Amino acid sequence: MRAIIDPLVAEANALTAMGIGVIAIMPNDVKISPGDSFNAMKSFAKQHDFTFPYVMDETQSVARDYGAVCTPDFFGFNAALELQYRGRLDDAGRAPKPDAPRELYEAMLQIAHTGRGPAQQTPSIGCSIKWRTAA
């Protein structure tokens, strides 16, 4: 998420302005990835002016239930809470590209207007989730 944080925050703000809810969920095991601790998350959110909730998936159950594989991994739901988008922010990858198509934004607008996501969706790429090992 760190590589795309500025465009991600901009898109989240744009979606929120359109009345579309946004939440960020951090699934990493903080024992494996201490830089993702709750205090680090609060600092990161403040530093980047998050205007949306940023929560911790301590049990990793949300990530597992939705089949998340990387951070960030984007999921878009319609008003009936049906998954309609599982894709990427845009096609810029880890290097910002000002003219990159706004895939997440456009998909969420389509879902808001029609209840259905786009037929073509490209999976997100990012860092792998730091999964807790079984005890």
Q: How far apart are the first and last CA of the chain?
A: 28
- Taking residues 115-129, report their average pLDDT: 95
Per-residue model confidence as pLDDT tens digits over 17-42? 999 999 999 999 999 999 999 999 99
**The CATH number of domain 2-128 is 3.50.50.60:** no
Query: Can you give the pLDDT at residue 1?
Result: 67
Query: Can you give the pLDDT at residue 135?
Result: 55
Q: Record the pTM.
A: 0.91
Q: How far apart are CA 22 and CA 43, in angstroms?
A: 19
Cβ neighbours of residue 52 closer than 8 Å, sequence gap 6 or more? 12, 16, 21, 22, 23, 24
Query: Can you give the pLDDT at residue 11?
Result: 96
Residue ranges per structural domain of the chain: 2-128
